[in-house]
């Protein structure tokens, strides 16, 4: 009897969860692809909601939203675009918050190429340096700021290979079409350490903070799935996932 009653309660709870479950569509900065996929899987399992995510450069996602793309929230790689969406009455100002603070890393797929002090960058013993387009991707902007801080921008300009976003930038280096690149630490980190290749974690004082903000768009203001997701992003469970990829959280 007890097992039957337990099964009945479980089925009833599941039916209630499914009845209240919703769907949401979000846009996410490319650097946050891996942690967001993990967060979405956990969120869907815990809430019953379904989330569809599109990943790309913050600049392109912002342009798509301005042109009417059917997103209900944006997780950007900067603070500028979410703030602009709020100013332009396309986003909900009260929903703005910093969900992650990113880390830039100078990285090579070769495990012996980059030293932990970044001397490989100063030596410049490589033909191609991949960075994300600084006009579209905040990680690319941070890469340029780092080169400027080191006095290397002019010397490196002939070697630069531009990725449309940080995902493509990583791909160029991972496939060895560029020997080195500036990528997001989250792309190469696993279990608290660089999982592949070799890298130098760029000191934060060499570039502006990569504070990544999220905003619920006007189209998602009344969607419970989106509201619940934003609450989930602030939870200890989500923070643990975010931090495991090398980000800081507030």
As its CATH architecture, domain 104-201 has 3-Layer(aba) Sandwich (3.40)
Evaluate if residue 98 carries a pLDDT over 80.
yes
Cβ count near 156 (within 10 Å) = 17
Cα(66)–Cα(68) distance, rounded to whole angstroms? 6
Give the mean pLDDT of 34-61: 96
pLDDT of 14 higher than 80: no
Residue 233 tokens read as 């992003």
Residue the block writes with tokens 């932990």: 116
Say what the alpha-carbon torsion angle 193, 140, 131, 248 is, to the nearest 10 degrees: 0
Split at pLDDT 50, 70, 90, the class of 217 is very high
pLDDT(180) > 90: yes
Rounded-to-integer distance, Cα 215 and Cα 50, Å: 18
Give Cα 113 to chain centroid, integer Å: 26
User: CATH classification of 2-101+210-244, choosing from 3.20.20.70, 3.40.190.10, 3.30.930.10, 3.10.310.30?
Assistant: 3.40.190.10
Check pLDDT > 50 for residue 77. Answer: yes
Whether residue 15 is predicted with pLDDT greater than 90 in this model: the reply is no
| Rounded Cα distance, 41 and 213, in Å | 21
Interval 115-141 mean pLDDT: 95
Closest CA to 212 of 146, 130, 131, 142: 142
Confidence of residue 190 (pLDDT cuts 50, 70, 90): confident
Q: Is 2-101+210-244's fold the same as 104-201's? A: yes
What's the pLDDT tens digit per position in 78-89? Answer: 999 999 999 999
Inter-residue contact 127 to 179 (CB < 8 Å): yes
Give the dihedral of Cα atoms 136, 141, 147, 148; nearest 10 deg: 120
**Is the confidence at residue 6, as pLDDT, over 80?**
no
Q: Is the pLDDT of residue 12 over 60?
A: no
Q: How far apart are CA 32 and CA 30, in angstroms?
A: 5
Task: Tell me the pLDDT band of 23, cut-offs 50, 70 and 90.
Answer: very high
The DSSP H or E segment spanning 100 is strand 97-102
The whole-chain average pLDDT of the chain stands at 91
Report domain extents, the chain. Answer: 2-101+210-244, 104-201
Q: What is the mean pLDDT of residues 47-64?
A: 96
Query: Does position 13 have pLDDT exceeding 90, yes or no?
Result: no
Q: Are 40 and 87 in contact (CB under 8 A)?
A: no
94 token code pair: 């009260």
């Amino acid at each position: 009897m007890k097992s039957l009653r337990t099964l009945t309660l479980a089925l009833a709870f599941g039916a209630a969860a499914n009845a209240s479950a919703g769907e949401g569509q979000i846009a996410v900065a490319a650097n946050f692809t891996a942690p967001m996929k993990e967060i979405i899987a956990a969120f869907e399992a815990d809430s019953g909601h379904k989330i569809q995510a599109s990943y790309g450069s913050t600049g392109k996602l912002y342009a798509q939203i301005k042109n009417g793309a059917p997103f209900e929230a944006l997780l950007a790689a900067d603070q500028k675009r979410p703030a602009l969406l709020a100013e332009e009455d396309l986003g909900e100002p009260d929903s703005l918050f910093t969900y992650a603070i990113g880390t830039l890393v100078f990285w090579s797929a070769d495990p012996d190429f980059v030293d932990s002090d970044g001397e490989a960058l100063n030596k410049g013993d490589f033909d191609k340096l991949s960075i994300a387009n600084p006009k579209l991707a905040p990680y690319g902007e941070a890469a340029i700021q780092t080169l400027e801080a080191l006095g290397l921008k002019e010397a490196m300009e002939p070697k630069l290979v531009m990725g449309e976003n940080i995902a493509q930038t990583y791909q160029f280096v991972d496939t060895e079409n560029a020997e080195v690149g500036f990528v997001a630490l989250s792309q190469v980190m696993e279990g608290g350490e660089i999982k592949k290749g070799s890298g130098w974690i760029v000191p934060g004082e060499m570039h502006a903070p990569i504070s990544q903000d999220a905003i619920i768009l006007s189209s998602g203001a009344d969607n419970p799935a989106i509201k619940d997701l934003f609450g989930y992003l602030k939870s200890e469970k989500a923070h643990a996932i975010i931090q495991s990829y090398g980000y800081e959280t507030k």
